[in-house]
C-alpha cells in the first residue's frame, strides 16, 4: 500500500513538473504590449520608430486614416493589423513611442519578431547635426538587435519636415549620423575593454552568464565597426535616407520604400 502511494505521488510530481515546464516555455514565446500578451510575431511587419517629436505618430495616423491631424507625443504602441498600401500585400504596421523610458517596447518587439520587413526611423531634418548624438544613440540601440539577425533589417532614415528652411538634406543627415555612430562605438568599445581588463586582472571567477552577455555585446559592437570609420554600408541590412514632410503630404517616397520592402 505504501509503495503504491509513493508511486502515485511520484507520477503526480512528474506530471505537474512537465506542465509547469510547458507553461514557462509557452510564456517565453509571448510578448506583452500595452498590457496585452501576444504570441511571437510571424506576420510581415513594418515598424515606425524614432525620437520624440520627429513626426512618427503623425505619419502613422496619416497612413491609417488618410487624415492630417495634430498629434501629441504618444505614450503607447500603435498597431494596425492587415494594413495595406496601394500595391503591397497586407502587413502589420506598428508605431512606437520615442521617449527613452518607453523604448524597451520597441527592443522587445525587434527581438521577438522574425518577419520584420523594414523599419522607418523618423528624423527631424531641422535638427542641427551637432545635436544628433541622442538620435544616434537610439539608432545604435536598434542596430544592436537587428544586426544580430542573419540578414539584418532594412532601415529608412525618414527625414521629416523637409519643407522647413532650416532642414538638412538626407545625405548630410546620414553622414552626420555615421560620424556620431563611430564615436559611440569607439566609446563603448573602450568602456568594455576597460571592464574586461579589470576582470582579468582581479577577478578570475565571474558569473558565466554575465561573461556571455558581455561577449555578445562586444561582438555586436565589433561587427558594425570598420576601418576608416563607421559606415552604414557595412551593415547586413540596407540603410537609405529619403526626405519627406508629413504636414505637406509629401510622403510618396516613404510609401514606395515600404512597398519595395514588402515585395522583396
Residue 133: CATH number of its domain: 3.40.50.300
Q: Which residues contact 96 (CB under 8 A, 6 or more apart)?
A: 47, 48, 49, 56, 77, 102, 103, 105, 106, 109
With respect to residue 76, please indicate whether it lies within any of the assigned structural domains: yes
With respect to residue 126, please indicate whether it lies within any of the assigned structural domains: yes
Tell me what pLDDT residue 26 has: 40
Residues of the chain under the 50 pLDDT cut: 2, 6, 11, 13, 19-32, 35-39, 205-206, 208-210, 212-217, 219, 221-222
Tell me what pLDDT residue 200 has: 62
Tell me what pLDDT residue 212 has: 47
Q: How do residues 32-45 score in pLDDT, each as one tens digit?
A: 455 444 445 678 99
With respect to residue 206, please indicate whether it lies within any of the assigned structural domains: no
With respect to residue 205, please indicate whether it lies within any of the assigned structural domains: no
Whether 38 contacts 79, CB under 8 Å: no
Q: How far apart are CA 139 and CA 135, in angstroms?
A: 6
With respect to residue 216, please indicate whether it lies within any of the assigned structural domains: no
Query: Can you say how many angstroms the Cα of residue 61 is from the centroid of all Cα atoms in its chain?
Result: 20
DSSP H or E segment with residue 7? helix 2-28
Tell me what pLDDT residue 126 has: 95
Tell me what pLDDT residue 113 has: 87
The count of residues in the chain is 264
With respect to residue 124, please indicate whether it lies within any of the assigned structural domains: yes
Structural domain including 56 reads 45-194+229-263
Q: How far apart are CA 240 and CA 232, in angstroms?
A: 9
Tell me what pLDDT residue 170 has: 97
With respect to residue 16, please indicate whether it lies within any of the assigned structural domains: no
Cβ atoms within 10 A of the Cβ of 89, count?
11
Q: How many structural domains does the chain have?
A: 1
Q: How far apart are CA 94 and CA 45, in angstroms?
A: 7
Q: What is the pTM of this model?
A: 0.77
Tell me what pLDDT residue 28 has: 39
With respect to residue 58, please indicate whether it lies within any of the assigned structural domains: yes
- From the list 31, 100, 30, 98, the residue with the least C-alpha distance to 60 is 98
Cβ atoms within 10 A of the Cβ of 115, count?
11
Amino acid at each position: 500500500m505504501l509503495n503504491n502511494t509513493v508511486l502515485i505521488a511520484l507520477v503526480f510530481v512528474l506530471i505537474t513538473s512537465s506542465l509547469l515546464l510547458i507553461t514557462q516555455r509557452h510564456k517565453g514565446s509571448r510578448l506583452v504590449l500595452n498590457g496585452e500578451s501576444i504570441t511571437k510575431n510571424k506576420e510581415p511587419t513594418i515598424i515606425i520608430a524614432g525620437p520624440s517629436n520627429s513626426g512618427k505618430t503623425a505619419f502613422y495616423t496619416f497612413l491609417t486614416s488618410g487624415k492630417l491631424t495634430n498629434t501629441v507625443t504618444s505614450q503607447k504602441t500603435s498597431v494596425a493589423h492587415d494594413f495595406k498600401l496601394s500595391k503591397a500585400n497586407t502587413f502589420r504596421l506598428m508605431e512606437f513611442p520615442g521617449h527613452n523610458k518607453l523604448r524597451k517596447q520597441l527592443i522587445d518587439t525587434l527581438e521577438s519578431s522574425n518577419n520584420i520587413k523594414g523599419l522607418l526611423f523618423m528624423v527631424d531634418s531641422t535638427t542641427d547635426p551637432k545635436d544628433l548624438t541622442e538620435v544616434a544613440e537610439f539608432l545604435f540601440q536598434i542596430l544592436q538587435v537587428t544586426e544580430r539577425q542573419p540578414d539584418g533589417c532594412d532601415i529608412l532614415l525618414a527625414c521629416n519636415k523637409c519643407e522647413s528652411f532650416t532642414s538638412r538634406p538626407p545625405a548630410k543627415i546620414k553622414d552626420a549620423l555615421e560620424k556620431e555612430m563611430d564615436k559611440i562605438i569607439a566609446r563603448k568599445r573602450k568602456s568594455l575593454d576597460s571592464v574586461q581588463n579589470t576582470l582579468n586582472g582581479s577577478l578570475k571567477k565571474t558569473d558565466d552568464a554575465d561573461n556571455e552577455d558581455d561577449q555578445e555585446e562586444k561582438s555586436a559592437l565589433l561587427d558594425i565597426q570598420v576601418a576608416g570609420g563607421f559606415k552604414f554600408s557595412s551593415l547586413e541590412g540596407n540603410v537609405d535616407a529619403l526626405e519627406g514632410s508629413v504636414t505637406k503630404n509629401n510622403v510618396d517616397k516613404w510609401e514606395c520604400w515600404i512597398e519595395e520592402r514588402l515585395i522583396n
